Amino acid sequence: MARAVTLLLGVHAHQPAGNFREVVDDAHARCYRPFLHILHRYPDFRFAIHVSGWLLGELQQRFPKDVALLGEMVARGQVELFGGGDTEPVLAAIPARDRRGQLDALSERLHSVLGARPEGAWLTERVWEATVVPELADAGIGFVTVDDYHFLCAGRTMDELSGYFSTEDNDRRLDLFPISEALRYRIPFAPASEAIAYLESLAGADGDEPAAVYFDDIEKFGIWPETHRWVYEERWLEQFIEGVLASPVLSTGHYGDYRRRHATRGVVYLPTTSYIEMNEWTLPPQAAQVYSGLVEQERAAGRYDQARPFVRGGIWRNFFSRYPESNWMHKRMLSLSRRLDALPSGQAPARLRELLYLAQANDAYWHGLFGGLYLPHLRRGVYNALVELERALDLLQPRVSPWRDDLDLDGRDEVFLHNHAVQVVVRDDEDAAVLEFDAYALAHNFGDTLTRRTEHYNRKLTSGEQDHSAESGIASPHDRVSFRHQINPQDLLPDPRPRRLFLDTWHPTCGENGPAGGALAPEYRQAARDQLQWQAATAGGSIEKSYRLDGEALVVSWRFLGLGAGEFETRVDLALPSCDGFLGRVQVDGTILGGFGSPLTLPSTTGLTLDDGVLGGTLSLDSSRPVAVTAAPHFTVSQSEAGFEKIMQAFSLQLRVALSAPEESLELTLRPRPTP
């Protein structure tokens, strides 16, 4: 029997830029190295691979022999390289000018390191918007892979999806290969024999040569739970390769070769979407609950296969509206992209473009099955790049200070105050609290925290759902419920107010507690070049609040007029890279009191120092009068492929001072410094 099915198998290898070294080492040992070495033994098994730029650079530097092995496989025609954005951005979420630059950067890197330029490209998280077509085509990319689900949403049927289709936008053509969901859930989770039997069942009529399209994360071949044992120790990968090569109806091929041998199946216009799981993750909890209910309703009625393209969830960009922290990073990135693009030709060093591209890496901007936005080190990587880039741009083209704008499009202005050493961004809303506090010498944003909120998957923690096991093979992480940490009910309580710096509350001795700057509606007043002021009225009095910069320090002052007896409290949520690790220390007068991961109570103090070994610096807090301090780590709960986990997001300081005189004041100074 003639070979009738061409298996187009592709794998996508990626690590977030700046990921922990031990994570990359583990991924290399458990997945990248064994995968490449096994495939190298089977030169007739052709496949495609996409490696994101930062990861390729890390592998080249630290594991050059394995990169050379991959280059050998490219040279002998076994491996087809796929391009994409160099730092793995969601192309649809960055400006067109940066899409082209990102695509060209990875193509140049692939040619330099592995000796070939890509014809096809991997779309990050398979996020499809038609607006990406022109930049892909102009960068020399002829085809991409998206899910078969994308085609079903356009009204195509599964029977039609055995080749590739063509689309266009702004007079540019791009070809589209539909990734098989059935293969994604079989490879490598089903026994090799079952996966091969499914592939053979796709054999077409005489003369036809359907393509079986698979392109998914290489991390499923060794890093996801149970997969290293299954894929390598129990020889799943070798059994699969040998079974495909021995099959009378299967052959392996490259996407580009298949495209040259076969005509397009026709024109198609896909809606804005991603893979089906993403469409649920992007929805707010209540909407996600409704979506899940509709899915279960259709499953129970036996209609889901027909209805699922039309019972559709959200789109990837919803993460910006779901998470203000993600939206703020994204809009800050866009504003700096505009500033960089506005520089005269030839004035910007190449390093500035590199920093912008690092800030566009997708990983910190969203959250689904993986930690993403919930992982502080990923957000920190974005802010490190943004802060360093902004400082460099200020040296080339200084900004006005202060300046205000509704940068994140939420209907409230943000006010920026900066000098050569620090920057503070205050949202002009009912809290008048600090949204961002940057130390340029440390390239760090101390305001990079995360508010605890309800997530759709929290129901799994309270409903007693158990692990779902596959009938044969191993369970996909999409189907499992497991725990990395003990989760208590209080760990799931959403924050009543956002996590920021200098979030104020006034507790009068008589009467109910009321937030100073909440219902009091503070009014913004600009007092001087280096100072911002707000004023809030209270029953019988007022509170004046100001922010000013003093060299490398941020000074926050309050003046209390006619409040009567009571207690004033301000909360300072600080992003400290050491989190609950051993390199974070709280010191008072040179005495170490504990780490950031432990509760702390100081009845009275006028200053403390936070020493962070990961940051490579300190943050001192000094008070103009004795204050009581209560501090504790702030945790959130999120899901990941390894199970539900608690992650420290901030070291939260509650500072309190008793007031009794008709007129009193308080001044707090934050001074960040690199470690000598």
Domain boundary among 269, 304, 336: 269
Report if residue 252 sits inside a domain. Answer: yes
Domain boundary among 269, 304, 331: 269
Backbone dihedral angles phi then psi of residue 370, each to the nearest 5 degrees:
-105, 165
Nearest alpha carbon to residue 176 among 294, 255, 61: 255
Tokens at residue 420, please?
């050569």
* pLDDT at residue 198 tops 70: yes
* pLDDT at residue 225 tops 90: no
Q: What is the pLDDT of residue 511?
A: 55
Name the band, by pLDDT with cuts 50, 70 and 90, for residue 520: low
Residue of 26, 138, 217, 550 marked catalytic: 217
Report if residue 537 sits inside a domain. Answer: yes
* pLDDT at residue 513 tops 60: no
* pLDDT at residue 11 tops 80: yes
Residue of 26, 125, 169, 428 marked catalytic: 125
* Amino acid (one-letter) located at 470: A
Name the band, by pLDDT with cuts 50, 70 and 90, for residue 473: low
Contact 276, 310 (CB under 8 A): no
Report if residue 407 sits inside a domain. Answer: no
Which range of residues forms the domain containing residue 661? 458-674
* pLDDT at residue 516 tops 60: no
Lowest mean pLDDT among 205-214, 232-241, 408-417, 515-524: 515-524
Dump pLDDT digits (tens) for 88-98. 999 999 999 99
Q: What integer best gives the mean pLDDT of the chain?
A: 92
Tokens at residue 42, please?
């089977």
- The fraction of the chain above a pLDDT of 90, given in percent, is 81
- Residue 402: asked if its preceding bond is cis (omega within 30°), the reply is yes
Q: What is the pLDDT of residue 518?
A: 42
- Residue 344: asked if its preceding bond is cis (omega within 30°), the reply is no
Region 479-490: mean pLDDT is 63
DSSP 8-state secondary structure symbol assigned to residue 412: S
Burial class (CB in 10 A: 0-12, 13-18, 19+), 519: exposed
Region 389-405: mean pLDDT is 95
Q: Which has more pLDDT, 486 or 243? A: 243
Contact 274, 316 (CB under 8 A): yes
State the Cα angle at 667 between 664 and 671, rounded to 5°.
175
Report if residue 503 sits inside a domain. Answer: yes
Q: Within its chain, how far is the Cα of 121 from the centroid?
A: 20
Name the band, by pLDDT with cuts 50, 70 and 90, for residue 459: confident
Contact 279, 319 (CB under 8 A): no
Q: Within its chain, how far is the Cα of 186 from the centroid?
A: 27
Name the band, by pLDDT with cuts 50, 70 and 90, for residue 207: low
In this structure, how many other beta carbons lie within 10 angstroms of the beta carbon of residue 281?
25
- The fraction of the chain above a pLDDT of 70, given in percent, is 93
Contact 364, 382 (CB under 8 A): yes
Nearest alpha carbon to residue 131 among 266, 326, 339, 315: 315
Region 361-387: mean pLDDT is 95
d(CA 69, CA 177) in angstroms, rounded, equals 28
* % helix, strand, coil for the chain, step of 5: 35, 30, 35
d(CA 401, CA 155) in angstroms, rounded, equals 53
Domain boundary among 269, 294, 315: 269
* pLDDT at residue 278 tops 80: yes
Q: What is the pLDDT of residue 521?
A: 67
Active site residue 504: no
Beta bridge partner(s), residue 15: none
Half-sphere exposure of 42 (CA within 13 A, CB side): 18
Region 61-79: mean pLDDT is 98
Contact 485, 638 (CB under 8 A): no
CATH number assigned to the domain comprising residue 69 = 3.20.110.20
Report if residue 36 sits inside a domain. Answer: yes
Active site residue 125: yes
Dump pLDDT digits (tens) for 38-62. 999 999 999 999 999 999 999 999 9
Q: Within its chain, how far is the Cα of 93 from the centroid?
A: 13
Region 315-330: mean pLDDT is 97
* pLDDT at residue 467 tops 70: no
* pLDDT at residue 464 tops 90: no
Q: What is the pLDDT of residue 463?
A: 61
Beta bridge partner(s), residue 673: 618
Report if residue 616 sits inside a domain. Answer: yes
CATH number assigned to the domain comprising residue 572 = 2.70.98.10
Residues 6+ apart with CB under 8 A from 260: none
Name the band, by pLDDT with cuts 50, 70 and 90, for residue 594: very high
Dump pLDDT digits (tens) for 336-368. 999 999 999 888 899 999 999 999 999 999 999
Report if residue 248 sits inside a domain. Answer: yes
Name the band, by pLDDT with cuts 50, 70 and 90, for residue 21: very high
Which parts of 459-512 are beta strand (E)? Answer: 501-508
d(CA 525, CA 548) in angstroms, rounded, equals 13
Task: Count the domains in the chain.
Answer: 2
Distances (CA, A) of 494 to 219, 419, 453, 647, 650: 32, 35, 4, 15, 15
Contact 533, 545 (CB under 8 A): yes
Q: What is the pLDDT of residue 488?
A: 82
* pLDDT at residue 172 tops 70: yes
Dump pLDDT digits (tens) for 115-128. 999 999 999 999 99
Strands 211-217 and 5-13 turn out to be parallel
Report if residue 393 sits inside a domain. Answer: no
